[in-house]
Amino acid sequence: MQSGQDIQRHLAGAWRMMLGRADGLLLLDLSVDGFWNSFFAIVVALPALIVGWVGIANEVAGLDFGIKLSLMLRMSVADIGAWVLPLAILAAVARPAGVADRFVHYVVASNWGSAIFAWMMLPPALLRLFVPQSAQLTVLISLALFMATLVLSWRLTVVAIGKGAAVGTAVFFGMLAASLVVLLAFQSVLQLDFQGG
């Protein structure tokens, strides 16, 4: 369990890295405990993620509570799987890729950064939930925020990997591709390929 102060420090560190500032790493706990504790970021992100799942479930399932609950559980498995499994893939290829010495830096920063991204995506999730008729606006805001998260994630990756923009960019695109493949695989297996999901 992370204290509120620790969580704030880690989020601040990840945010500084997203702004391209290497001193953000100094705010992260890069010890073995810090590595495992960084997965607590999933808990930090959970309230924002749940809002998104509820909005999609309402759209797809209407008033059927059983179907909504099933959808939300399956979406949670898909999203958390797409968060964690690409990190396991990176662990397997980190040594041949020459980034093994920065693996912990990346995982810790990425976990806390992902919590920030979950909360950044909250406004369109709230719109989808409470103003379902504003679908076009929701899509526009979602797209703009998604593009912003890509830029911020790239900066965080370059700083975390610490081997220059070329290596950092390669890791960024590799992890982005892995995340998309894992997410699409989960969506297919869990039958989440519904319209608008």
Q: What digits encode the pLDDT tens for the residues 129-188?
A: 898 888 899 999 999 999 999 999 999 999 999 999 999 999 999 999 999 999 999 989
Q: Which of 91-100, 107-116, 184-193 is predicted least confidently? A: 184-193
pLDDT at 197: 38
The pTM of the full predicted model, rounded to 2 decimals, is 0.91
- Model confidence over 56-82: pLDDT tens digits? 888 887 777 888 899 999 999 999 999
| Spatial separation of the C-alpha atoms in residues 113 and 12, rounded to whole Å | 9
8 A C-beta contact, residue 67 and residue 61: yes
Say if 47 falls within a structural domain. yes
| Spatial separation of the C-alpha atoms in residues 49 and 69, rounded to whole Å | 14
- Model confidence over 6-62: pLDDT tens digits? 999 999 999 999 999 999 999 999 999 999 999 999 999 999 999 999 988 888 877
Token output for 157: 């990756």
How many domains are there within the chain? 1
Say if 8 falls within a structural domain. yes
pLDDT at 129: 87
Per-residue confidence band for 193, with pLDDT thresholds at 50, 70 and 90? low
CA 62 to mean position of chain CA atoms: 27
Question: Within 10 A of 52 (CB to CB), how many other CB atoms are there?
Answer: 21
pLDDT at 60: 82
| Domain region containing 142 | 4-189
pLDDT at 194: 58
8 A C-beta contact, residue 183 and residue 78: yes
Say if 95 falls within a structural domain. yes
Say if 91 falls within a structural domain. yes
Say if 97 falls within a structural domain. yes
Say if 32 falls within a structural domain. yes
164: left (phi over 0), alpha (psi -120 to 50) or beta: left
Length of the chain: 197
Say if 196 falls within a structural domain. no
Say if 66 falls within a structural domain. yes
